Structure 1
């Protein structure tokens, strides 16, 4: 009989601690029950992850904002136990001569005045132990947020500071974040002077994220010489000024109704990635804005409702994404080195696009699924011969697509599309018309089909499959340009994905799982999800319109 050897326990403590760093806080707690030696390893583990959701049941976590006093009293007792556990764990660690690598705290505060001394002490102990990472998140139903203690500003060894839902103010002029590289503030009350101190007196700061913070109207970042990544999201700012000579990524997210009146980021000339949302730039202002960043490679803009006709010319750009610009009318791109182009949830524009990359197009037929809408989409797609994905959402609309009238508009076949994803909740009476419209717009190699309604799913799948499978090719013999029925060679069901579990099932497994060889029986017993068809066309790609 071979004797079992515990090789892990014989490893050096720092190696075991490294292994433990990949475990959850629950799993780290469980190893202490193995032996006294493992319990000592847990006590000396320099990563602390205190999360009340691990300590409370799901029902208890849901009671945090409960208005019923009896539930709050029960929760208060559980939170008291949680705080005592934190207290004991930190005090045991502080008796050892180790530095702390990480201190994470997620806690609900039912009484700010009562809880603040404990939290202040924990943050002070972590600071004394030269913590490297502070990750602090607080929940409270009080109008008074928890205020971080002044000891946080003496955490000279901290490299990452992540703070959520509290108040950050400095009563002195001392900020000793000499090694801070990443700063993230989310829903934090902070004044303008404090923001300037954090960014200007952290000499190694490389990443800065501000999201839904309040307490200041003007944001000025001017001394962050090593700042490379910055994200700003706010509905309260009146002006934004960023002077960061080495900034490479910038995200600006605002609400167009209350966006800042002044946005000055023009001195960030090394910018390579820019994302902005809700900025009310006119067409001319957009052109001036984009032209200020000659090294730009990645451009994303969304919810820019003032944009109508834009032109972008760049040999540097590698990626462009346009989203939810609801007044877009024309799009002109001269971007020969573009590697990715996404156009989504915006009106179908007239276009002149010099870009050889694959396209991703997502569109929504809100009011009409008619000849005019289909014609505009087909013309737009025809600019490219690399449509990777086309996604169409068809809501209940006025539908008036007539295949006969479309023949007059085009004398060539539609373009190929690698994947067509179609989502609809239109009534079954429109399914034949919808299919004709879709396959007049493009010829997809793969078709994903989903109904918004679980009840309507069976009819949608069955109707589309029957129409695709049992094609009547006598419909347009007198026409030179035939409809899709003449060119579709074969159709196969190649997979299904249930929306509840997200599991993808191939066709063979699907048939085996459902114990049926009859596809007509299959549709009625499928769970709510997305079916995938493979379509084979019977003419060579060289005959397609480029």
Structure 2
């Protein structure tokens, strides 16, 4: 019995909305089940025209014509239109122009277009009059000619605008930002034709992203902007001049591909930043960052730890990634002591942990030690330490654990790996070694070590999920130090 077709249309459409990633043939098959299903599929407001999902170009363009015609007869607004296509001849271009024009006239709320054609496909001027449009993503197309010449924009409902490989000049950027009062997210990737990106007195703008552009000046006045990300077109490119200091809600910043910034000229642009992702090359003698508002710092750099100086008294989470050493994360939570996660790469340099130990001790300067066990400092106290290993188990992993535990004394330790840590009831050599080394750190008569799964209720109570969600294929085991009751 067909009970689904007895449901209200909007519920059936919601069910069908989970099908757009399936081959369009599925909707065609449904449409021939009955007159009811024909109506339901014809009025389905999510139109997914992706040529890659068709076996032939002929079948794709036939499907586009037929589906567009059926939908337009319903006189409904399309919730979402996705059009990914390559154009090879005038007949194909005519079909795209005709069908896109019909759909824009009746209205589209979300539009995503990627066109491959020579010359580039120019979007029709009717696009600028779609008042219900909320989300617009354009890839590899020319903007409507009336926008380029007349500056006419009527996107009164537009919330999200993403442009990629699109030519756009500074005047058009001004037209868009002034003509889209509700715009919250503006992103441009690999766009060209402009040197300045200026937005003034935009009350609703919340996120801005500029990736792979040649921008030289960025000037933004947007009281509700909270997220800004900037990535260079080429590594080492001269950074643009920034003026975002008036954005008092700007708390998350990503800065990638430019030479290492200096503290005074860089972070002064972001006086309220709390979360900073910094991808930078090693240029100059050192890297200095100073911020009282910063709480999370993810640093991807060629600088070694001894050349990094941080003055960040309110920092809660520090993630450091270096191609030579893998990456390490240190977290200071209000209810815990410091926590740390380590992701070593194939070349494990155990002496590097001495530098990390000294880096975490703000009163100490960096010293190069030939033997890590010559360290005279007491192990740095950690609430939780997480070590991640890849490849097959080897003696290098035990050496790595040994080096870490020479410098750090965790109350909890979690091993995560791509190889098994237990074999039936037998624990791996790495697990046994880690257990013995942890026990050596404690008064053995007063401390016991429990080995548990990090997914167990006992581990969950200790908050052992440290820095990120674990990978599904990872194996994991946790060690918990517990004081014995005195008799």
TM-score when normalising by structure 1: 0.68
In the other structure, the counterpart of 1:166 is 141
**425-434 vs 267-276, which moves further:** 425-434
Is the CA contact 2:435–2:479 (under 8 Å) kept in the aligned structure 1? no
2:199–2:219 Cα contact (<8 Å) kept:
yes
Correspondence for 2:46:
47
1:270 is paired with a residue of what secondary structure? coil
1:399-446 Cα shifts (integer Å, max 9, x gaps): x975xx61x423534533524223366995645533421322334534
Go from structure 1 to structure 2 and tell me whether the alpha carbon gap of 1:422 and 1:47 turns closer, same or farther (over 3 Å shift).
closer
Q: Distance in 1 between matches of 2:475 and 2:403?
A: 19
**Shift in alpha-carbon separation, 1:146–1:259, aligned structure 2, 3 A:** farther
Aligned pair partner of 1:9 in 5, 9, 17: 5
Residue 535, structure 1, aligned to residue 479, structure 2? yes
Offset at residue 85 of structure 1 (A): 0.6
Q: CA deviation at 1:185?
A: 0.7
Aligned 1:344-423 pairs, distance under 5 A = 344-345=321-322, 357=334, 359-362=339-342, 369-371=349-351, 373-381=352-360, 402=371, 406=373, 408-410=374-376, 412-416=378-382, 418-423=384-389
Residue of structure 2 equivalent to 1:117: 94
- Report the alpha carbon displacement of residue 210 of structure 1 after superposing the two structures with TM: 0.7
- How far, CA to CA, are the matches of 2:244 and 2:332 in structure 1? 28
Q: CA deviation at 1:117?
A: 2.2
Instruction: Show the counterpart of 1:21.
Output: 17
Change (3 A) 1:288 1:366: farther
The CA distance in 1 between the partners of 2:277 and 2:119, in whole Å, is 37
Deviation at 1:231, TM superposition (A): 0.9
Matches within 5 A, 1:10-409: 10-24=6-20, 26=22, 28-56=27-55, 78-107=56-85, 109-111=86-88, 113-138=90-115, 140=116, 144-171=119-146, 172-173=149-150, 174-222=152-200, 224-254=202-232, 255-280=234-259, 282-283=261-262, 286-303=263-280, 305-306=282-283, 308-314=286-292, 316-324=293-301, 326=303, 329-336=307-314, 338-345=315-322, 357=334, 359-362=339-342, 369-371=349-351, 373-381=352-360, 402=371, 406=373, 408-409=374-375
Q: Are the aligned partners of 1:346 and 1:363 in contact in 2 as well (CA < 8 Å)?
A: no
**CA–CA distance in 2 between the matches of 1:51 and 1:110?**
12
Aligned partners of 1:489 and 1:535 also within 8 Å: no
Q: Does structure 2 retain, via aligned residues, the 8 Å contact 1:247–1:270?
A: yes
Instruction: Measure the CA separation in 2 of the matches of 1:147 and 1:416.
Output: 59
Q: Aligned residue for 2:463?
A: none
d(CA) in 1 for partners of 2:399, 2:16: 59
> What are the superposed Cα offsets for residues 370-416 of structure 1, whole Å, 9 maximum, x if unpaired?
54x221122345679xxxxxxxxxxxxxxx975xx61x423534533
Displacement of 1:275 after TM fit? Answer: 1.9
- How many Å separate the matches in 2 of 1:136 and 1:409? 60
Shift of the alpha carbon at 1:112?
Answer: 5.8
**Residue 193 and residue 120 in structure 1: after superposition, are their counterparts in 2 closer, same or farther (change >3 A)?**
farther
- 1:87-126 per-residue CA deviation (whole Å, 9 max, x = no partner) reads 111112222222222211122x151655322222222111
* Map of 1:439 onto structure 2: 405
Residues 206, 428 of structure 1: CA spacing in aligned structure 2 closer, same or farther, 3 A cutoff? closer
* 1:64-83 Cα deviation digits (max 9, x unpaired): xxxxxxxxxxxxxx112111
Q: Structure 1 366/465 Cα, relative in aligned 2: closer, same or farther at 3 Å?
A: closer
RMSD: 4.1
CA separation of 1:463/1:258 partners in 2, compared to 1, >3 Å: closer, same or farther? same
**For the residues of structure 1 that align with 2:223 and 2:288, how far apart are their CA atoms?**
28
> What is the CA–CA distance in structure 2 between the aligned matches of 1:14 and 1:424, rounded to whole Å?
48
How many angstroms apart in 1 are the aligned matches of 2:436 and 2:104? 73
Deviation at residue 186 of structure 1 after TM alignment: 1.8
1:13–1:366 Cα change, 3 Å: closer
Residues 339, 384 of structure 2: 8 Å contact kept: no
How far did 1:333 drift? Answer: 3.6
Indicate how the Cα distance of structure 1 residues 48 and 287 shifts in structure 2: closer, same or farther if over 3 A, else same: same
How many residue pairs were aligned? 442
SS at match of 1:158: coil
User: What 5-or-longer segments of structure 1 have no aligned partner?
Assistant: 57-77, 385-399, 474-481, 496-503, 506-527, 541-546
Change in Cα spacing, 1:5 to 1:483, as seen in structure 2 (3 Å) is: closer
Does the 8 Å contact 2:111/2:136 carry over to 1? yes
- Stretches of structure 2 that go unaligned for 5 or more consecutive residues are 364-368, 457-471
Q: TM-score, normalised by structure 2?
A: 0.76
C-alpha spacing 1:484/1:33, structure 2 compared with 1 (3 Å): farther
CA 1:115/1:196 → structure 2, altered by over 3 Å: closer, same or farther?
Answer: farther
Q: Deviations over 1:432-486 (max 9, x none)?
A: 533421322334534435479x9xx9xxx9542454468899xxxxxxxx56896
